[in-house]
Amino acid sequence: MKLLLLLGAAICSMEIYAQDCNGYYFLQNNKTIEMAILNKKGEQSAKQVYTVSNVNNSGSSTTADLNTEMFDKKGKSTAKGKARIKCDGGMMMVDMKMSIPMQPGGPAAESDVKADDIYMEYPTTMNVGDNLKNASMHLDMDNNGMKQTVDMEIFDRKVESKESVTTPAGSWDCYKISYKSKMKIKTMGIGMPMNIEGVEYFAPGFGVVKTQSKNGGTEIIAIR
């Protein structure tokens, strides 16, 4: 299982979009974003495709709905999910449901999900050495009659450095953000804990273009 903390990027100047939500491609209507899911060796093991819809602008705030679908190496659809993205005055806010590992029939697959909207924040004013706000979430789900709950906390988020990152979709100047996460998935009352430490590369005005952990990672490979 891999932590998918996924946001994308477009090729523009960071200064231009410092206080503008329009640069985040997850907030651009009808965009399709493809992310490679990488194994421990850095090899692509699956692909996740996001489609953006219902973009709404109100003053300095923008919201958008995301439909996400995972495909295996052979191109077979294995899981689907939904999430919401927000931006206010340039601050990106990511629905924590995007941080749940997707797997066939798992907690990020299509199911009847009951949860408050909880967001993880990426401030435009971040600097190297900053500690970013923690986030936690509880989900109750009914997946074809199978009751599941997910409790997740992402904490110790720290801006470690500034680095240039290149993926098949382009190159960006990013902040490297380290984090820790704790998650417990209960299926029919049986719990399965998971602890992860990793990093993500956030391009201001764009989004997270790459993630890494000991279990693997993700990287943006296409924007259409």
Helices and strands counted in the chain (H then E): 0, 14
**Tokens 């990013």 belong to residue:** 174
Domain with 33 in it: what CATH number? 2.40.360.20
Residues 95 and 85 sit within 8 Å (Cβ to Cβ): yes
87 domain residue, yes or no:
yes
128 domain residue, yes or no:
yes
3 domain residue, yes or no:
no
80 domain residue, yes or no:
yes
**Tokens 């705030």 belong to residue:** 61
195 domain residue, yes or no:
yes
Residue 80 pairs with which residues in a beta bridge?
A: 69
11 domain residue, yes or no:
no
Distance of CA 185 to the CA centre of its chain: 18
Please report, in tens digits, the pLDDT of each residue of the chain (224 residues total).
333 333 332 223 333 333 468 889 899 999 999 999 999 999 999 999 999 999 999 888 999 999 999 999 999 998 888 889 999 988 999 988 777 655 444 444 444 555 567 899 999 889 999 999 999 988 887 766 778 888 999 999 999 999 999 999 999 999 999 999 998 888 877 878 889 999 999 999 899 999 999 989 999 999 99
- Rg, C-alpha atoms of the chain: 16
**Burial track 117-146 (b if 16+ CB lie within 10 A, e otherwise):** ebbbbbbbebeeeeebeebebebebebeee
Instruction: Provide the pLDDT for residue 13.
Output: 30
CA pair distance 11, 124, nearest whole angstrom: 17
Q: Which helix (H) or strand (E) holds 27?
A: none
Residues 85 and 27 sit within 8 Å (Cβ to Cβ): yes
CA pair distance 108, 155, nearest whole angstrom: 21
Range of the domain at 140: 21-223
Question: What phi and psi values does residue 107 have, to the nearest 5 degrees?
Answer: -70, -15
Residue 154 pairs with which residues in a beta bridge?
A: 135, 181
Residues 60 and 89 sit within 8 Å (Cβ to Cβ): yes
Instruction: Provide the pLDDT for residue 81.
Output: 83
Instruction: Record the tokens describing residue 39, joined without a space.
Output: 């194994």
SS3 label, residue 130: coil
**Could you tell me where the beta strands, DSSP code E, fall in 19-90?**
32-38, 44-58, 61-71, 77-88
158 domain residue, yes or no:
yes
Instruction: Record the tokens describing residue 64, joined without a space.
Output: 């958008």
Tell me how many degrees the CA angle 189-195-199 measures, rounded to the nearest 5: 140
Instruction: Provide the pLDDT for residue 7.
Output: 30
Instruction: Provide the pLDDT for residue 145.
Output: 73
pTM of the prediction? Answer: 0.82
Instruction: Provide the pLDDT for residue 10.
Output: 29
170 domain residue, yes or no:
yes
**How many domains, in total, are found in the chain?**
1
Instruction: Record the tokens describing residue 185, joined without a space.
Output: 């998935």
